[in-house]
Amino acid sequence: MASTARAQNKQSTRDEEHLSVAHDEANALISTVAACETTGTPHQFQDAGDSLGSGMFGAVLRVKCRVCGKCFARKDVTPDQTNDDVKLKKSLDQIDQELNFLRHLHHPHIIAYVHHKRPKRQVDAYQIFTEYCELGDISALIKVKAEYSDKFIWNVCEAIASALAQCHQGLRSIRVGSEESYVGIDAHWAPIIHRDVKPANVFLSSLLPGLSKDEAAAMAIKCIDGVVVKLGDFGAACRLKEGTLHTTMTGTQAYWPPEVKEEALSSGRVTGWSSATDICSLAATLYSLLTFHLPNEKIGEVPISARIAQLKDELPDGRTEASEVLLKLICDCLDRQPARRPIALTLLAVSLKAGSSDGNLRRSESFWTTLAKDSHQAHRQMISQTVRDFSGQYLPLLHATFTSKEICAIMSLTATYSKQSLKTTANRLTEKPKTVFHAAAELTPTDKEFANLVWEVTQWPSSPALEGLVIRSDKDGLYPSQIAAERGSRPICKMLSKIDSARSQRGTAHTRGSHVES
């Protein structure tokens, strides 16, 4: 027995050493340098006395930097306390994983990592410092049944869809000042699943200093620029890797999708985590914003038309602004079958076009340009799904204006992934008498890469499905070739004229002065 005890003690010591080395290595990978933006000197945090909330993974407090005077949020995470080495290691790994996610997910709509502190003893609380969102989370708005418009719900949808598009698909976004744009998709991205999307983890932050909380909250509800929606709390998140099985029962059960609830009930564990689980949880969050309560658990089992009718019936009295496209998007995301739910890229594409501001137009243009220029084979399936779902399911319901560059990008993507819907998409992207060819003609000589995509790579302007459109004049009486000539795009002018000439020779075009319907 003595020898057995000595062996166990040796093994326990080796396990502790292994844990210590593993977490020292993880600590080296995560930068703990935290400097004030204004002074460049390290932050000196002190408690500000406010509790911001608590959950299964720890408590969150507001702290203040003595150097710069800014407030931050500090999350105290306590590892497993059951004296079980396996459980301790698992909880420490989860803390390391949350730290790494926060450190590497640089995104305008994800809570920003600032700093962290590891305790001297592994069983004590770890401290994670992030930016502080002074307006709190949107669960408070639901509790008080605040009055807000469709536009606010679209803002929430766009922001969280954008955050999930980075987590799930690796879509990169940057913010410079008040301008946000999309700049690429990571080539070898391993999806991150949040697993706890809910109103309490969707935060509001003000970009404007000096505002009171009430003033900033009113701005958020009225959708005035200066308030940003952010996704936070990655304590339940995991990274999906081939061959890795995640069996944790985590997150908030009220926002679990049906497949997670059923598996947990039948087997006592959950292995079915996927990006589709986050999408369903986001839909439940948006549903709560619309109706002030969660959707019926069986709503995903009925046809989409019945789902939309049910949602309409549950809208509060006096609320008439909910658009058909918003209702459909939410109800599609609640589908019982995970594979039938739209992906984050599709949600983002629709949300971007639901707004009509100049900022929306620029963000949407950068989004579609990013997708059109992406050439990675591994991305083809998700881009194809985005293009087909956007054009087929949501474009008919959108009353949106598209820039010429957006039109050219979407047409190039449609020619690549959904050629059979080329003509239908072309008609939906423009208002008569303008055509998609006018958009192609408006590309400037500096848009060489984009012109090459349109005229050389996808060659959609030469598609027989679009015959007749090219010779129509716009409201100013200008034909596409004339617009190209006026802009100094001689190569594009020649190509448009060549298409006109070829079609005329085949007898498929009318004379120049005639009005041709598509």
C-alpha distances in angstroms, 348 versus 156, 259, 475?
11, 24, 32
Judge whether 372 and 452 are in contact, CB under 8 Å: no
Judge whether 448 and 491 are in contact, CB under 8 Å: no
What does the alpha-carbon distance between residue 389 and residue 437 come to, in Å, rounded to a whole number?
23
Helix axes 404-417, 422-429, angle to 10 degrees: 170
What does the alpha-carbon distance between residue 119 and residue 393 come to, in Å, rounded to a whole number?
52
Nearest to 448 by CA among 482, 484, 416, 489: 489
Residue indicated by tokens 């930016």:
131
The helix or strand, by DSSP H or E, that contains position 285, with its residue range, turns out to be helix 275-291
Evaluated on CA atoms 407, 410, 415, 420, the torsion sign reads negative
| Structural tokens at position 224 | 């005035």
What does the alpha-carbon distance between residue 261 and residue 297 come to, in Å, rounded to a whole number?
10
The answer to whether 10 is a known ligand-binding residue is: no
What does the alpha-carbon distance between residue 87 and residue 95 come to, in Å, rounded to a whole number?
12
Residue indicated by tokens 């589908």:
335
User: Omega before 119 cis (within 30°)?
Assistant: no
C-alpha distances in angstroms, 401 versus 41, 187, 406?
47, 31, 10
Nearest to 407 by CA among 373, 365, 379: 365
Would you call 310 helix, strand, or coil by DSSP?
helix
Mark the binding-site residues, compressed into ranges. Answer: 75
Mark the binding-site residues for ATP, compressed into ranges. Answer: 75
